Structure 1
């Protein structure tokens, strides 16, 4: 078991201030050799609007991805090619869309180097898709904007940036869990208590930011104009020059963020529903490999829950911290319901962009979190939110582990 979690996190690419967000800050452009890719990203919204994505993308010159010189540039190239590839696939009328060789070959090369599938995932759409609009200041709404979009609308920009801010706010909770785990080895209960308070406050901030989604991202605009491009790949053909491979991949999903999987594992929250737990395990393959390594290592066992159970005061603050994670998932479900299920006229079997059946997954993830909260906390939650667990059959289901699994 890891004893120096702070060092382990830094060693695996987790920044103390920015969490799982890509740092140093994402590259905003590629070297001049790859300028056609940057130009394509700039014109992508126009190509989508006039229906010429496949035609224009097919005209791009072939570029040798082996000439990429840095990890930052590789992430930038992955971001641009993932948006281009997703736009080609989701504007095609073909049941088995074809991604041309000039996109497929470098995209798959870069995806392999980064240890992720050739599809638009959370790591590209969010973690590597932001820049600060000011030279100084925290990563927060009003001070950040996305690097690449499909529509150039404020709705799409806001959707990504709300997620980026949540990832940034999660850094405090991640660091606090890491410290709490270390303090269990020295049996420092007072310091553990303080870190549980930090987790609680950080997740509360994440929930507050999540509630801001509707300020500038309209549910109908998201559902009709943004969500389709984040959807899964099914029987997509990649032209590799001389041969074609056909593959299917899960679409971009907040379940591909390491944040709540890390908090779950660190806090001892277990998800036992077979389909949901299998899906969350599969989502590790869509994360940056270093992030997935952290989650897998932590899932081997965390002493924090059992340690907190040994002292009534710690148990109380542990429960309070877990309650905030439950509240985050509750708020997430309310948004997912409004942005997806309601837009689809609340039909059963609504599929998220990640490829899961939305309702059953959300239910299992929320309910597994709720099981870890004591009777006192559960009663408190029910008292504050009496309508969340009754009446509407579509609100009686919650699945995901972070922002919108859409």
Structure 2
């Protein structure tokens, strides 16, 4: 068994899957500075009704793949944040979705996606993981000390929606940090260490669920549905763009329309990592197939971490074979915590999406931002998690 080192996967105990650099300190120069200025003006231009004309008027039209290659990794990720917001705003910022993404957006977006190993539209990493900063560097990553860098319309509801996710990702760092120790202890038959680590993990999961519970404090369901959600949809399985989107000037696509899934919290790597560690599986259904497809939308290092944990973990078998009641209870506490997280997700899907009306192109209350029906399958996956409880 290979020892897992978090930094090898671009993960840290302090920040989890969040960027390990301070994103507000990343400087962009020349063309990229101009791109940043256009992106940061979105709260002004989106409300005009002529966003596309204003955007293309000010956006550099000569950003090439070579310009992207010259960026540092931190600069490329920051550019990905800004370009991906611009693309989503261009597609969904006016009444009718366009059939073509202009070259000024398409070429640099494709080059960034190729460099970063992701897909050429807004990913969860661009929306959440790389899109935050600290007010006070010597204080924790918590809701009273973080801000959103790049918005669409801006405002409390949009920022709070993103920042709750940021705070959850940060708290999950301690959960992720326990995984290598657990896997090593399983390999050596160290029951006590596995139990202690799981018990500590349960404490962090209680904090994660408490953070998730705070979503309604400053993110109103109707405001979310009408002012936040419309901009994060993709163009796969979306009736507003049934043929997909042509990326002008991207030779690799040969002028053919492309269909990519929209940004969604399901692109977070936390719950898939837990499923991999706890050996939780899901029976085939449309949501499982969709979640499997989302794997390529995650940053490469995070994908590899999930895959390696899944390959190495025998935690459930270890617990069942140990015959230790305290170990079983510790395992069950994590299963229950993840099931509780999924239950809260199900409740939010109902209140923030399903109970809202259809108000704009592509913003269907019965379909997730990734492009699939979700309600009954969210419940099924929650129930499948709870079914993994072991009799103590």
Native 8 Å contact 1:140 1:165 kept in 2: yes
1:321 and 2:334 equivalent? yes
Task: Give yes or no for contact 1:349–1:357 (8 Å, CA) kept in 2.
Answer: no
- 1:12-38: CA deviations, max 9, x gaps? 111121111111222554123421111
Moved more, 292-301 or 221-230: 292-301
Report the Cα distance in structure 2 between the residues aligned to 1:349 and 1:144, rounded to whole angstroms. 30
State the partner residue of 1:202.
204
CA 161–244 in structure 1, closer or farther in 2 if over 3 Å, else same:
same
CA RMSD of aligned residues (A): 1.9
Secondary structure class of the residue paired with 1:19: coil
1:87 touches 1:229 (CA, 8 Å); kept in 2? Answer: yes
Task: Give secondary structure in 2 for the equivalent of 1:297.
Answer: helix
CA distance in 2, matches of 1:130, 1:48: 21
Any idea what SS the aligned residue of 1:247 has? coil
Alpha-carbon distance between aligned partners in 2 of 1:164 and 1:118, rounded to the nearest angstrom? 22
Q: Aligned to 2:257, what secondary structure does the other structure show?
A: strand
Alignment of 1:182-197 (within 5 A): 182-197=184-199
User: Quick check: 1:238 aligned with 2:247?
Assistant: yes
1:367 and 2:378 matched: no
What is the deviation of 1:240? 0.9
**Counterpart contact for 1:181–1:302, Cα < 8 Å:** yes
Question: Where do 5+ consecutive residues of structure 1 fail to align?
Answer: 377-406
Structure 2 residues not aligned, in runs of 5+: 236-240, 359-363
State the 1:241 CA deviation.
Answer: 6.9
SS in 2 for 1:109: helix
- Deviation track 1:379-405 (CA, whole Å, cap 9, x = no partner) reads xxxxxxxxxxxxxxxxxxxxxxxxxxx
C-alpha contact (below 8 Å) 1:105/1:239 kept by paired residues: yes
CA distance in 1, matches of 2:46, 2:166: 25
Q: Tell me, what secondary structure is at the counterpart of 1:47?
A: helix
Question: Residue deviations 1:103-150, cap 9 Å, x none?
Answer: 111111111111111111101100010011112211110111111011
Aligned with residue 31 of structure 1, among 29, 32, 45: 29
Equivalent residue in structure 1 for 2:46, among 40, 45, 48: 48
Of stretches 281-290 and 271-280 in structure 1, the one that deviates more from structure 2 is 271-280
Measure how far apart 1:297 and its partner are: 2.2
**What SS does structure 2 have at the residue aligned with 1:249?**
coil
Residue 278 (str. 1) matches residue 277 (str. 2): no
1:145 partner SS? strand
Other structure's SS at 1:246 match: coil
Matches within 5 A, 1:153-232: 153-232=155-234
Retained in 1: the 8 A contact 2:247–2:257? yes
Q: CA deviation at 1:185?
A: 1.2
In 2 relative to 1, CA 93–239 (structure 1 residues): closer, same or farther, beyond 3 Å? farther
1:3-402 superposed matches below 5 A: 4-5=3-4, 7=5, 9-27=6-24, 28-59=26-57, 60-62=59-61, 63-67=63-67, 68-233=70-235, 234=241, 235-240=244-249, 244-309=255-320, 310=322, 311-344=324-357, 350-374=366-390
Give the TM-score, by structure 1 length. 0.87
Measure how far apart 1:349 and its partner are: 7.6
Q: CA deviation at 1:367?
A: 1.2
CA distance in structure 2 between the aligned counterparts of 1:114 and 1:11, rounded to whole angstroms: 16
Counterpart of 2:361 in structure 1 is none
Instruction: Give the secondary-structure state (helix, strand or coil) at the position aligned to 1:300.
Output: helix
User: 8 Å contact 2:46–2:89 — kept in the other structure?
Assistant: yes
Higher alpha-carbon deviation: 165-174 or 129-138: 129-138
